[in-house]
Amino acid sequence: MNLHLDEFYFMHFERPLRSSIQDFYDYVDNFLQCYIELTFILSEIVFEDVKVILNEKDFEKLTCFEYTDNFKDTCQICLEDYQENRIVVKTPCNHIFHKKCIKKWFCDTNVKCPLCREDIRTFLSS
3-class state of residue 76 by DSSP: coil
The pLDDT of residue 22 is 75
Rounded to 10 deg, the angle between the 21-43 and 5-12 helix axes is: 150
Mean pLDDT, residues 96-116: 92
| CA contacts within 13 A on the Cβ side of 73 | 14
Query: What pLDDT, in 10s, does the model give residues 23-61?
Result: 777 888 888 888 878 777 776 665 556 788 899 999 999
Q: Is the pLDDT of residue 100 over 80?
A: yes
Architecture of domain 56-125: 2-Layer Sandwich (3.30)
Task: Give the list of residues 6+ apart from residue 111 with CB closer than 8 angstroms, or none.
Answer: 52, 53, 54, 119, 120, 121
3-class state of residue 84 by DSSP: coil
